[in-house]
Structure 1
Amino acid sequence: MKELTKAEEQIMQVVWEHDQLFIKDIVDHMPEPKPAYNTVGTFLKILETKGFVTRVKIGNTFAYSASVKKKAYTQSFMNGFLSNYFEGSAEKLFSFMVEEKKLNLKQIEDLMKKLKDND
């Protein structure tokens, strides 16, 4: 699966939250400063080419919906991230997060509980 650029990901976050959207709807749901209508349209064409969205003609315009589920993209992205930065090891990622003080003791305990619950 291809990786999304930052701009593409922003648009996909909006598309993933809704079933079917017109470009105007996507622009309305974007954070400030809102991108131009034509800019969003251009990115949607790219996303369609990459296989992330599909479009259906309704009247004189198109409605867009996600053709890749957010969870599927997240799994693919995280697997690539682990491979590229942590030699495929979730343990190395976890160690990095602890060393960088991105996880506190309470969060670590919560993660340990989740791990035990999944056994």
Structure 2
Amino acid sequence: MKINHLTSAEENLMKLFWAMNSFYLKEVMEQHPEPKPHQNTVSTYLKILVEKGYLSTEKEGRIFKYTVIVPFEDYKKFLLKELSHNFFHDSGKEILEFLMVEKLISQDDLRAYFDLKMELKPTKVKAPKLEIANEILNPKKDKKGKDKKKKNKKD
């Protein structure tokens, strides 16, 4: 699924729509914080967001029910990848350095994150191969039932 860029006004409305997931225009107008935009403005944005593939519509009588198609997590991933590509040369290291310099993340945050993410899994230790010990303790016998060492001494 291709995700398109949103304007800041579209993004602000989508934040409300992501919280609602499925809704009617009337519900949007009721839930929108003050100052509320005009109903025609919201209706226009709904049409645009349907065209951009963020919302789907289902006609119920004379009104439309809108449903979110693009999950919020997918949009966040899209934005972060765009940011990384356009401003940080696709480098996670550069992003992390920037976050540290700007004090948007601390070393304690990172330490706590990695402490939570690290799972201590016991490693499977392979039993040692005791080939030499087995040869000494269990010498191979030839067909006559004699030890190989004794045969070698006769030669």
Whether these two folds match at TM > 0.5 is yes
Q: 1:80 matched to which residue of 2? A: 82
Identity of aligned residues (%): 30
What is the TM-score normalised by the length of structure 1?
A: 0.87
Higher relative CO (Cα under 8 Å, sequence separation at least 6) belongs to 1
Unaligned runs of 5+ in 2: 120-155
TM-score in terms of structure 2 length: 0.69
Q: In the alignment, is residue 69 of structure 1 matched against residue 46 of structure 2?
A: no
Q: CA deviation at 1:11?
A: 1.4
Q: Is the Cα–Cα contact under 8 Å of residues 11 and 26 in structure 1 kept in the other structure?
A: no
Per-residue Cα deviation, 1:67-115 (whole angstroms, up to 9, x for no partner): 1111122111111111011111122111101101112343222232245
Q: Partner residue of 1:94?
A: 96
Residue matched to 1:37: 39
Q: Hey, what does 1:18 align to over in structure 2?
A: 20
- If each structure's helix is expressed as a fraction of its own residues, which one has the higher value? 1
Q: Once the 2 structures are TM-superposed, how far is the Cα of residue 8 of structure 1 from its aligned partner? A: 0.8
Number of matched residues? 118
**Structure 1 unaligned spans of 5+:** none
The separation in 2 between residues aligned to 1:34 and 1:91, in whole angstroms, is 42
For residues 27-84 of structure 1, give each alpha carbon's deviation from its aligned partner in whole angstroms, at most 9, with x where no partner exists. 2222221211111110010001111101111122111111111112211111111101
* Aligned-partner SS, 1:102: coil
